[in-house]
Amino acid sequence: MNKKWIFFPFIFLILFGCSALKVNLLSDKTSSLKEKDRVYVAVQKKLKMVAIGDSLTEGIGDKEGKNGYVGRVQELLEQNEYIKEVETVNFGVKGYKTTNLLNMLNKDDVKKELADADIIVLTIGANDLMKVMKSNIFSLTYEPFRKERENYQERLKDIFHVIRSYNKHANLYYIGLYNPFQLTLPDVPEIDVIVQEWNETSAELVAKDSKATYVSIVDIFTQDGERLLSDDEFHPNEKAYTYIAERVYEAIIRDRKIKHE
């Protein structure tokens, strides 16, 4: 398509002052817990959760200092009476793209922690998307985003392959993207389309792994009357991280068949 979008001047502040964009429209595997679908297992003495990815995994924007959704997932797991102990290792780094994450996965300490993990949580892809947006700020069309999506797909496929080469048994949770521009740029709905396409790509790859779950969070940021972005108007705030953590926790409880009151 040759249609061009005209962005307001303050887009520069948003694009060049932030390092992660997240948007999600799919729910490949829902995180709702239905009593009839549960088969409970014995008490889990210890769970190890390893977090990898970008600024959302690092917890940027969380003024409460709970390490974003990762720390909150740990809290929820620790509050479950059927789980005795939770160990968390967080390798999230602000600004990371898929290329950065692939390099990190070659580090010995990361290999070791992933190999020992029971649960792996992952956010990545937002900065890959932002890179395209910054490079085409004066002439934004769909084409460069769709072209880069193919490259992103291959890199994400490599990420999953490397993780599984270290650990074939851990439950893996990929948390999708959301659109932080819905309030600041409501007249640019094309961003939603682009993010949806990237989420579809991610969800399709996740679906090929029987022990992986796609966690959709895009709808969290469309709720009326709630402030869900941090002061930078880009990253999630404490409330949003809590909502994200609840979805990840519910998926973990379901997948590992742990009783949940």
Q: Where residue 28 falls among pLDDT bands split at 50, 70, 90?
A: very low
Q: Which strands, in side-by-side order, build the sheet including 119-123?
A: 86-92, 47-53, 119-123, 171-175, 212-215
> Helices then strands (H, E): number in the chain?
9, 5
Domain-wise residue ranges, the chain: 13-255
Taking CA atoms, 14 is separated from 10, 17, 178, 233, 235, in Å, by: 7, 5, 15, 8, 11
Instruction: Calculate mean pLDDT across residues 159-187.
Output: 89
Structural contact between residues 41 and 197, judged by C-beta atoms closer than 8 angstroms: no
- What confidence score (pLDDT) does residue 188 get? 66
Which sign, positive or negative, has the C-alpha torsion 187, 189, 190, 192?
Answer: positive
How far is it, in rounded angstroms, from Cα 241 to Cα 55?
Answer: 12
pTM over 0.85: no
Alpha helix stretches (DSSP H) within 125-183 = 126-135, 142-166
- What confidence score (pLDDT) does residue 76 get? 97
pLDDT digits (tens, 9 = 90+) for 186-236: 666 788 888 899 999 999 999 999 999 999 999 998 877 788 999 888 899
Label residue 53 left, alpha or beta by phi (over 0 means left) and psi (-120 to 50 means alpha). Answer: left
How far is it, in rounded angstroms, from Cα 189 to Cα 58?
Answer: 28
Q: Which class does domain 13-255 fall in?
A: alpha beta
How far is it, in rounded angstroms, from Cα 33 to Cα 253?
Answer: 8
pLDDT digits (tens, 9 = 90+) for 48-101: 999 999 999 999 999 999 999 999 999 999 999 999 999 999 999 999 999 999
- What percentage of the chain reaches a pLDDT higher than 70? 79
